[in-house]
C-alpha cells in the first residue's frame, strides 16, 4: 500500500499540474479571441494601468484607440507596442488626444474616436484624477475639477459613444473605479464623491441598456499601485485603525488589474471588486455595521491629527 501511494501521489500532482496548464492556455487563447478585431478605446493609455491594458489588448488582436493628455507619451507607447508586436496578428493603434477634465472638448474627441474605425466595441473608462486633503481646505474649484475628470468626463464620452452601440445592439463599457466608490476614506472627500457618482451612474446605465445587448462592467481595485513599490512594513498592532487602514491601503499591481479587465471583457462580468480580505470586510462592515465603521474611521482621524507632520 505504501509503495503504491509513493507512485500515485507524484502522478496525481503531475496530472493536476497538467490540467492547470491546459486551463491557463485555453483561458489565454479565449481571452485573445474575445477581443480579436474588436475596436477598444482606452481613455487613459499613458498611465501605468493604461499601458498594461494597451499591451494586453494589443497582443489579443484588438483594434486599439489609445487616448491620453500627452502626445509624446502616446507616441512612446505606440512605438513600444509596435516594436514587440507581430504585424500579421495585430493592428496599428490609433492615437487621440483626450483630457476628460475638459468637458467642452469631449464631444469632438468622441467623433474623432468614431472616425478611427467607424464604431466602438469596447470602451474602457480608466482615466482618473486624485486629490488628498481635509474637505474644508479643498477649494470648490478643485472639487469641480475632480468631478469633471472622474465623473462628468467619463459619462459625457460614454453618452457620445453609446448611441452607436445601441444601434448595432452590441458593445461593452468598462469603468475602472475604486474601492472609494463604495466607502469613503478620510481626506479623500472630493475623490470619493466622484467615484461614488461614477459607480451610481454606471449601475443605473447597466439596467437601461441590457435590452440592447450592451454590457456595463465595473472593476474596482483598492487602488492601482506603482510598478516597483510594495506596501511598507509597519506595526499594525498599535491600534485598530492603523491595522484597518494599512491593510485597506494595499494596492493592486497594474498588470493584475489589466488582466482582470481582460477577463471582465471576455466573461462579460458586471462587477469585480479587487481587494484583499480586509477592504472587502470594510465594505461589509460599512453596509451592516455603519456605526462601528464610523467610530473606527473617526478614531483614525483623531489620532492622525494629534501627530505633528514633518515639514
pLDDT tens digits, 68-124: 999 999 999 999 999 987 888 899 999 999 999 999 999 999 999 999 999 999 999
Please pick, among 191, 227, 250, 284, the residue that the annotation labels catalytic: 191
117 is catalytic: no
Compute the distance between CA of residue 17 and CA of residue 13 in angstroms, rounded to an integer: 6
pTM of structure:
0.81
Sign of the dihedral defined by the CA atoms of residues 65, 68, 72, 78, in that order: negative
User: Is residue 174 within 8 Å of 198, Cβ to Cβ?
Assistant: no
Burial class (CB in 10 A: 0-12, 13-18, 19+), 2: exposed
pLDDT tens by residue, 191-235: 999 999 999 999 999 999 999 999 999 999 987 776 555 444 444
Q: What are phi and psi of 173, to 5 degrees?
A: -115, 125
Q: Quick one: 36-275 is in which CATH superfamily?
A: NAD(P)-binding Rossmann-like Domain (3.40.50.720)
Q: How many CB atoms lie within 10 A of CB 311?
A: 3
> 282 is written with which cell numbers?
470594510
- Whole-number Å distance between alpha carbons of 170 and 163: 11
Amino acid at each position: 500500500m505504501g509503495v503504491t501511494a509513493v507512485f500515485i501521489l507524484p502522478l496525481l500532482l503531475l496530472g493536476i499540474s497538467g490540467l492547470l496548464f491546459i486551463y491557463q492556455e485555453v483561458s489565454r487563447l479565449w481571452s485573445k479571441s474575445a477581443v480579436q478585431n474588436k475596436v477598444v478605446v482606452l481613455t487613459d493609455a499613458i498611465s501605468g494601468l493604461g499601458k498594461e491594458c494597451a499591451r494586453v489588448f494589443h497582443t489579443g488582436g484588438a483594434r486599439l484607440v489609445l487616448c491620453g493628455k500627452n502626445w509624446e507619451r502616446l507616441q512612446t507607447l505606440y512605438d513600444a507596442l509596435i516594436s514587440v508586436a507581430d504585424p500579421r496578428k495585430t493592428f496599428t493603434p490609433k492615437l487621440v488626444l483626450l483630457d476628460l477634465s475638459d468637458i467642452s472638448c469631449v464631444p469632438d474627441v468622441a467623433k474623432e474616436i468614431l472616425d478611427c474605425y467607424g464604431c466602438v466595441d469596447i470602451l474602457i473608462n480608466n482615466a482618473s484624477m486624485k486629490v488628498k486633503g481635509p474637505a474644508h481646505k479643498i477649494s470648490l474649484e478643485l472639487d469641480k475639477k475632480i468631478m469633471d475628470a472622474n465623473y462628468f468626463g467619463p459619462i459625457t464620452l460614454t453618452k457620445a459613444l453609446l448611441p452607436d452601440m445601441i444601434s448595432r445592439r452590441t458593445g461593452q463599457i468598462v469603468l475602472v473605479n475604486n474601492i472609494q466608490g463604495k466607502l469613503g476614506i478620510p481626506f479623500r472627500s472630493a475623490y470619493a464623491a466622484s467615484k461614488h457618482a461614477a459607480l451610481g451612474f454606471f449601475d443605473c446605465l447597466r439596467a437601461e441598456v441590457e435590452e440592447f445587448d450592451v454590457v456595463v462592467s465595473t472593476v474596482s481595485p483598492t487602488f492601482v499601485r506603482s510598478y516597483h513599490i510594495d506596501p511598507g512594513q509597519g506595526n499594525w498592532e498599535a491600534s485598530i485603525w492603523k491595522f484597518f487602514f494599512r491593510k485597506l491601503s494595499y494596492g493592486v499591481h497594474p498588470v493584475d488589474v489589466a488582466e482582470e479587465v481582460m477577463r471582465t471583457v471576455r466573461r462579460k462580468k458586471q462587477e469585480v471588486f479587487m481587494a484583499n480580505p480586509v477592504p472587502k470586510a470594510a465594505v461589509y462592515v460599512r453596509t451592516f455595521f455603519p456605526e462601528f465603521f464610523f467610530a473606527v474611521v473617526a478614531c483614525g482621524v483623531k489620532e492622525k491629527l494629534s501627530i505633528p507632520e514633518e515639514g
